[in-house]
Amino acid sequence: MPNHCNPLRKKTAIRLVTFIILLYTFAGLGLSVNYMINFTERIMKNFLVYPVAVILMAALFLLAACERGAEAQFELNWDGPLVHSVVRNDMHNPNSLIDVPMLMRIVERAADNFVILDVSPNPEDVIPTAIWIDRSTLLRNFEGNFNASQPFEVLVSIFEANGIGNDTTVIVYDNANGMHAGRFFWWLRAMGHPDVRLLDGGLRAWEDSGQPLQAMASPPPPPARFTATNNLQYHYVGLAHVLYAQTSPAWTILDTRSPGEFNSGRIPGAILLSYIGDFINPDFTFRTLAEYEQSFAGLSRDTGLILYCGGGLRSAVAYFVFTEILNWPQPVRMYEGGWNNWSWAGAPVEN
């Protein structure tokens, strides 16, 4: 039976019980203001005379000790998962983002059906209970695309082997500006996973809040069943599609690299929207909806978006912003090979 007890009511009850105990004890001992200084001594002398007060006091301490666990149980059982609370109310899909306080509760409870996934390129200390997946195992070199996804079946098997299934809430983070976590979010979302979330601010936010770390990643949980959908082709494009989009009014090409990279060479017709500044803050947290709308005011919502960077990392975070926060009304696609693939193919370059 779910526990719908309100923690605020529990605290109020504790205060009320404390008042009653003190009132009863003072009345029974006949203490006046002048005798209050000897309160502790009189309690000890009358220990056996006032068993009810002693029992109530013991119950009070037990109630206070279990209060923290009761609040955690309240959050876990409240008509939904432990992460039912909304981190932000200005997102199209607020359930795709999680913050440090919410993740703290999950770690403290060691909640079932949660996988905390560290996808840092070189992990050192990790968030407690986090497992690690090497991003390179999900990539291959395919026709000059050095960051191409492995075949669908390979991706499914990797996620299943690491305990990620349809009933698993996956929380993804990294220690590298959120780019690697963004790519994993893109994979899982494109494959139809129903509950994948990014940690806002990544490992840096966790560390800055003074939370504990563990020295090594945890072993993965038992394998899970992931009934994925092979929809990757509806979430990315290749070189041929980008060439077509250059002359099509139905598409806008966005470069998510830095201004320096953009000025050194870009896909002709691409518009610069920098990863740091336009898509995420310098502390690697996501910006507000109002800030995104201001930065993207010049984009037509009547066109689809093709996002690229060096090779499918920063553009994956841009994909998150347009789909999960802004709910872009037209198709959003990531050019998986990005600038590396474009350069390899000898395609036209604009400076």
Cα–Cα dist 153/52, whole Å: 67
| pLDDT, position 143 | 77
Sign of dihedral through CA atoms 246, 252, 256, 260? positive
Strand partners, 253: 306
pLDDT for 206: 98
pLDDT tens-place values along the chain, 351 residues long: 333 333 333 444 455 445 555 544 444 445 444 444 454 455 445 444 454 444 445 445 444 444 433 333 323 333 344 554 556 788 999 999 999 999 999 999 887 899 999 999 989 899 999 999 999 999 998 877 888 999 999 999 999 999 999 999 999 999 999 999 999 999 999 999 999 999 999 999 999 999 999 999 999 999 999 999 998 988 999 999 999 999 999 999 999 999 999 999 999 999 999 999 999 999 999 999 999 999 999 999 999 999 999 999 999 999 999 999 999 999 999 999 999 999 999 999 999
Same fold, 94-229 and 235-344: yes
pLDDT at 15: 52
**What pLDDT is attached to residue 21?**
55
pLDDT of the residue at 79: 36
How does strand 251-255 pair with strand 271-272?
parallel
What topology does CATH give the domain 235-344? Oxidized Rhodanese; domain 1 (3.40.250)
| CA dihedral sign of residues 12, 18, 24, 27 | negative
Quick one: pLDDT at residue 338? 96
Q: Three-state SS string across the chain, please?
A: CCCCCCHHHHHHHHHHHHHHHHHHHHHHHCCCHHHHHHHHHHHHHCCCCCHHHHHHHHHHHHHHHHHHHHHHHHHHHCCCCCCCCCCCCCCCCHHHEECHHHHHHHHHHCCCCEEEEECCCCCCCECCCCEECCHHHHEEEECCEEEEECCHHHHHHHHHHCCCCCCCEEEEECCCCCHHHHHHHHHHHHCCCCCEEEECCHHHHHHHCCCCCECCCCCCCCCCCCCCCCCHHHCEECHHHHHHHCCCCCEEEEECCCHHHHHHCECCCCEECCHHHHHECCCCCECCHHHHHHHCCCCCCCCEEEEECCCCCHHHHHHHHHHHHCCCCCCEEEECCHHHHHHHCCCCCEC
Q: What is the residue type of 3?
A: N
Find out if CATH 3.40.250.10 is the number for domain 94-229. yes
User: Do the strands 114-118 and 131-132 form a parallel or antiparallel pair, or are they unpaired?
Assistant: parallel
Domain limits of the chain?
A: 7-77, 94-229, 235-344
